[in-house]
Amino acid sequence: MENIGVMMTCACSPSPYLQEELDKQFKLFRYWECANKEEFLKSNSNSIRAIVCNTSVGADAKTIDLFPNLEIVSTFSVGLDKVDLVKCREKGIRVTNTPDVLTDDVADTAMALILATLRRICAMDSYVKSGYWKTKGEFELTTKFSGKRVGILGLGRIGSAIARRAEAFGCPISYHSRSEKPNAKNYKYYSSVVDLAANSDVFVVACTLTSETRHIVNREVIDAVGSKGYIVNIGRGLHIDETELVAALVEGRLGGAGLDVFEKEPEVPKEMMELQNVVMLPHVGSGTWETDTDMADLVIANLKAHFLKKPLLSPVV
């Protein structure tokens, strides 16, 4: 397959593994490194048959149209919000993602964010490292997590994995999804997001980003979580109206927030830099060596299956 043109839109990962493997097995083009895109397209657009992308630089309609012989888009992510699925369907271009292999890591990250936010782990770490333990004495009290009511927006693969972890902390679980899950009898279903929020101490966002779920966490939902409640987002930044989130945190209408994702990554609202009740991560939900390798292997396995005319491993389109 070393003559098949595969174009990466961006590096996709801090690990070189995906690029190295693609380079070994295909004819790899690193689009983000091309100084002269026009020149690159003139010489290579016809030979690109696959795009590999991720959630920072996906494959929008304009990009897809640049490559007349494109057959498949394989995203190094489970989220598909940066791939124009309508365009791909129209043009008969296959699409794959990387579900399941990252579920545990993202759920672990959600739990880490919950504990870090309620127990103020990052602030405590700074307190010890700054020498304040010696000079100022004991750290102030924080908020208990075990037994708190956890509400999950999106009881899919990741949401379910978070629910299982939270159950081990003795937390009653509720959720909202488009439909009630017959295999989640121990969890309470709310058909309304606001009702879920009003009945959650910790409200975790883990749903798919679509036009329907953009800003699904609006002022009403944030106020329903309330001044004693916490919002944790490991979905996408655009699930939450960030302006409203900042206002609620600054005004004390929301207890706190643990955020892995933001509306305009890598930009974060400057007001949040000062807030003690916010823990922020740089979109690292699935960012471990182990999962990175599994995701890369799945991207490559999908490409190979496609070009060998075998069934795709994780087809979306």
Residues with a catalytic annotation lie at 236, 265, 283
Binding flags for ligand NAP, 221-260, as an x/- string (CB under 6 A): -------------xxx-----------------------x
Give the torsion sign (CA, 35, 47, 297, 235).
positive
Residue 306 in tokens: 């496609």
User: Minimum distance between the CB of residue 16 and ligand NAP, rounded to whole angstroms?
Assistant: 20
Side chain identity, residue 114: I
Residue 165 in tokens: 């972890």
Is 99 one of the binding residues for ligand NAP (CB under 6 A)? yes
* C-beta separation of 143 from 119 below 8 A: yes
Q: How many residues bind ligand NAP (CB under 6 A)?
A: 30
3-state class of 280 per DSSP?
strand
Q: Which DSSP letter does residue 47 get? A: G
* C-beta separation of 244 from 219 below 8 A: yes
Is 13 one of the binding residues for ligand NAP (CB under 6 A)? no
Residue matched to tokens 């993202």: 106
Report the residue number, 260 or 263, with the smaller CB distance to ligand NAP: 260
Is 210 one of the binding residues for ligand NAP (CB under 6 A)? yes
Q: Interface with ligand NAP by CB under 6 A: which range of 18-26, 142-150, 210-218, 309-317?
A: 210-218
Is 47 one of the binding residues for ligand NAP (CB under 6 A)? no
- List the interface residues with ligand NAP, window 269-298 (CB under 6 A): 283, 285-286
Q: Residue from 117, 177, 291, 302 that binds ligand NAP (CB under 6 A)? A: 177
Closest CA to 51 of 302, 280, 311, 314: 302
Report the residue number, 234 or 298, with the smaller CB distance to ligand NAP: 234
Exposure string for 66-79, b = 16+ CB within 10 A, e = fewer: bbeebbbbbbbbbb
Query: Cα angle vertex 29, ends 27, 34, to 5°?
Result: 155
Is 212 one of the binding residues for ligand NAP (CB under 6 A)? yes
Q: How far is CA 294 from CA 19, 103, 201, 261, in A?
A: 14, 11, 34, 22
Is 102 one of the binding residues for ligand NAP (CB under 6 A)? yes
- List the interface residues with ligand NAP, window 132-151 (CB under 6 A): none
Contact positions toward ligand NAP, by CB under 6 A?
A: 78-79, 99, 102, 106, 154-159, 176-179, 206-210, 212-213, 234-236, 260-261, 283, 285-286
